[in-house]
Structure 1
Amino acid sequence: MDNYPLLNIFWTMLELFLWILWFFLLFKIITDIFRSHDMSGWAKAGWMVLVILLPLIGVLVYVIVRGKSMGQRDVEQARQSEAAFKQYIREAAGPSAGGGGSHVDDLAKLADLKASGAISEEEYQKAKDKLLV
């Protein structure tokens, strides 16, 4: 280890980190170019040529010109993903096949009817047994 001192190890780690960061930013911009619906095909092709042929200048110009809308597209995509996930959860846990609410809601309604005196204990038990079958 005499010919590779500790400071060189830290410098190499910093360079590796910066390369990874650079590629992350480059791929983020390329995916944003294709995801953007407000650009025409020619504009997308122009940005791609600029980013690929002159990467440093192309990435900096893209971030300066379209950075704010890039963030808005990220937020919108996250919102759509969350809404789709919540919809999937609702469908998976969904209402019972008995029509309308879940068993818990139906049992709560029955308990309220029994407490208010609208149905008797016997009617309550029959309806509860029917729900739980």
Structure 2
Amino acid sequence: MSFFGEFFWFLLWSFYFIAYLYVVIVIITDLFRDHKLNGWLKALWIIALIFVPFLTALVYIIARGKGMAERATAARGPMISEADDYRPAASSSPADDIAQAKALLDAGTISQGEYEALKSKALGNQYFGA
């Protein structure tokens, strides 16, 4: 077998070994995350992972896969939408919004059309409770 063939097989087996180690680490992490499973069953799963590793990992993922996802989601905590971080601050009143828009118009920052749009938005917000 050539050098490149041996190198290819080495890379392939290295990938499989690292992937297997990742699966074992995920399974052990999930075992310790599960508070409903008692200590004896956790020890039994770990012993099985040591003596029959591939079959045990496969059975564990098939039998407890849904619970693994739920426990991982619970461990991450509640998700907050990114949009919540960028909400503009609520204005104090429509009159303040119109005054700010007028100041921008007078400074030449916005056009007359943009001023009218901001003004109508501020007045619309007053009536719709936004």
For 1:3-42, what aligned pairs fall within 5 Å after superposition?
4-42=2-40
Residue identity in the other structure for 2:27: I
Is 1:61 the counterpart of 2:44? The answer is: no
> Residue 68 of structure 2: which of 67, 70, 76 is its match?
70
Query: Distance in 2 between the 1:74 and 1:4 partners?
Result: 44
Q: Give 1:114 deviation, angstroms.
A: 5.0
Q: Give 1:54 deviation, angstroms.
A: 2.2
**Cα displacement string for residues 43-86 of structure 1 (whole angstroms, at most 9, x for unaligned residues):** 212212211232222212211211121122223333x1635xx8
For 1:100-119, what aligned pairs fall within 5 Å after superposition?
104-105=89-90, 108-110=91-93, 112-113=94-95
Residue identity in the other structure for 1:52: I
TM-score by length of 1: 0.57
Query: Relative to structure 1, is the Cα distance of residues 114 and 71 closer, same or farther in structure 2, using a 3 angstrom cutoff?
Result: closer
Residue identity in the other structure for 1:39: L
Highest RCO, 1 vs 2 (Cα 8 Å, sep ≥ 6): 2
Gaps of 5+ in 2: 99-130
TM-score by length of 2: 0.59
Query: Distance in 2 between the 1:31 and 1:53 partners?
Result: 19
Residue identity in the other structure for 1:48: I
Q: Give 1:4 deviation, angstroms.
A: 4.5
